[in-house]
Amino acid sequence: MNNCWFVTGTDTNIGKTIASSLLLINAKKLGYRTAGYKPVASGIKKKYKKSQNNDALIFQKLSSVKLEYKEINPFCFYEKAAPHILSIKHNIKISFEKLSLGLFELKKKSNWILIEGAGGWYTPLSRYITYADWVFQENLPVVMVVAIKLGCINHAILTSHAILKYNLNFSGWIANNIKPKEKFHEENILFLKKNLQAPFLGEIPYFQDIKKIYTCEIPLTLPK
């Protein structure tokens, strides 16, 4: 039996990779054979090879099973833009078949897999399909990352309703502090705890130096 979860967010750049990484670390400590999967990635830092994305490299490092880069990230684009735009520009079709095949192969090696999406729930992979369509096809349970800031309640509730619309298992949500705590921080999280129809898996504190987050004990609950 494989444990697989799809990690989405209320927007782009809200900490999906950080949340996924911390969950991978915690699952590894519990003895799972873990794998991070970033099927579609865009944006390459100059210090890396053209075909490699930083988020995917983090997953490669943190997965407890040994994986080749292409096993973690089958579709990688140099520019940072919406996947459907880059797919059209470079004439590279992002196919559900390849996404699913990659997941199938990871299931042979691991028993605890986190699949990180790109952007938010409805990120388009072509002119006609979104990431949500693939998640529905695979019937994957979903974890949502919420960036705690002004406006996060609206974004979180809209995203949660979209997830539930697909009749998927909404396995939990994580609060990520992408900036120092603002006024009414606790009130925002309390409202979300009461109104989101999913378990609260924990809160990630704000780190000015994001690299330090991987050396700290962050008590996130694993999704079920």
- Whether residue 165 has pLDDT greater than 80: yes
The confidence score (pLDDT) of residue 43 equals 84
Q: For residue 181, name the pLDDT band (cuts at 50, 70, 90).
A: confident
Concerning whether 149 is annotated as a catalytic residue, the answer is no
pTM value is: 0.94
Q: Which of 16, 28, 38, 165 is catalytic?
A: 38
Q: Long-range contacts: 121-129, Cβ < 8 Å, 24+? A: 121/8, 121/159, 121/162, 121/163, 122/162, 123/82, 123/83, 124/82, 124/83, 124/84, 125/40, 125/83, 125/84, 125/87, 125/94, 126/84, 126/87, 126/88, 126/93, 126/94, 127/84, 127/88, 129/96
The confidence score (pLDDT) of residue 213 equals 83
- Whether residue 2 has pLDDT greater than 70: no
Domains plus CATH for the chain?
3-215 (3.40.50.300)
pLDDT in tens, 67-120: 999 999 999 998 888 999 999 999 999 999 999 999 999 999 999 999 999 999
